[in-house]
Amino acid sequence: MSATKFKTVEQYFGTLSGPAKAMMVQMRETIRNAAPGAEEVISYNIPAFKLNGLLVWYAAYAHHIGFYPTGSGIEAFTKELAGYKSSKGAVQFPIDQPLPVRLITRIVKFRVAVNRDKSGR
Mean pLDDT along residues 65-74: 96
pLDDT attached to residue 1: 45
| Domain ranges within the chain, ordered by starting residue | 9-110
What architecture is domain 9-110? Alpha-Beta Complex (3.90)
Confidence of residue 118 (pLDDT cuts 50, 70, 90): confident
Compute CA distances 114 → 22, 23, 30, 60, 118, whole Å.
29, 26, 18, 25, 6
Give 9-20 pLDDT, tens digit per residue: 999 999 999 999
pTM above 0.75, yes or no: yes
Q: CA 75 to CA 91: how far, in whole Å? A: 11
